[in-house]
Amino acid sequence: AKKNGGGQTVFFIEDLKEALTEKARLERDLRRALENDELFLHFQPQVSVTGGGITGFEALVRWKHPDYGVIPPNTFIPIAEETGLIISMGEEILRKACQQFTDWKDEGYRPGCLSVNISTVQFRHPQFMDMIKQTLATHSVAPSELILEMTESVVQEVEEAFPVLQQLHQLGVRVALDDFGKGYSSLNYLKSLPLDILKIDKSFIQAIHLGTREKAIIETVMNLGTKLEMQIIAEGVERPEQLEYLIQSPSLTYQGFYFSAPLPPEKVPTILTDPI
């Protein structure tokens, strides 16, 4: 950016222009990514704290950009949400995940449950339920095998969220509350909404070593979830001490680098028992 007589103002406007062009470029690239099938999924196993048995997989999206290489979701999901591209992208992600699960089952594997992340923007879209039903109908994934992961921002609007969550519940699809405890959690919706699974945010798990206060919080959250008859998943388990601590609650499942990072789909069969 060059200066002229006016100085600062011109400079600022040019910076802003640059930022806008950068965003516009990413948006354009993202549209192209959908057309050219540049999105792909990794799958992270969810395991029981006691035996290490795999109960399911969470699908996590990645973008193979032709110039920049693999881009993580935190960089492009927000742009997809702002531009509305998340609607078609989210549908594509669910479709890909269901297709992969169908393939594994056709090959004789039993991958357990399939968890897919749903953005708040997707959840609020009027065709959301139709999209879910349609995708399930065209793949051999039963509603009971599907788990939709949503963050607290989805359920904040309790009145709006309730009917859709109720429909998912009636369909037999389970809903997991993701990153629980990360934001300013209100406990109100936990009692009033049909939520099946509580995913305890990794910041809690990673604070386990810190001491009794942190443990008291985790234990309270777990008790609460259990009393509300929700299944609990601990996120971000990286160290043996963390798992050792979590084993005190034998019904827990967990995800984390300690067992496995998210895997490319071709690696998944290597950690599942042989096909029947």
| Chain residues that interact with Ca ion, rule: CB under 5 A | 117, 149, 178-179, 235
The yes or no reply on residue 264 touching ligand C2E (CB under 6 A) is no
The yes or no reply on residue 152 touching ligand C2E (CB under 6 A) is no
Which of 171, 238, 269, 271 is in the footprint of ligand C2E by CB under 6 A? Answer: 238
**Distance separating alpha carbons of residues 253 and 233, to the nearest angstrom:** 5
CA neighbours closer than 13 Å in the CB half-sphere of residue 144: 0
Determine the angle formed by the axes of helices 8-35 and 86-106, rounding to 10 degrees.
30
The H or E element that residue 197 is part of is strand 197-200
- Please choose, out of 48-56, 163-171, 220-228, 254-262, the segment that lies near ligand C2E by the rule CB under 6 A: 254-262
Chain length of the chain:
276
Choose the contact partner of 77 out of Ca ion, ligand C2E, none; CB within 5 to 8 A by kind: ligand C2E
The values of phi and psi at residue 62, to 5°, are -135, 160
- Please choose, out of 14-22, 24-32, 59-67, 137-145, the segment that lies near ligand C2E by the rule CB under 6 A: 59-67
Q: Using the minimum distance from each CB to Ca ion, give the nearer residue, 29 or 58.
A: 58
**Distance separating alpha carbons of residues 136 and 35, to the nearest angstrom:** 22
**Distance separating alpha carbons of residues 116 and 75, to the nearest angstrom:** 18
Q: Which of residues 77-116 bind ligand C2E (CB under 6 A)?
A: 77, 93
Q: Which residues bind ligand C2E (CB under 6 A)?
A: 44, 59-61, 72-74, 77, 93, 117, 119, 149, 178-179, 202, 236-238, 255-257, 262
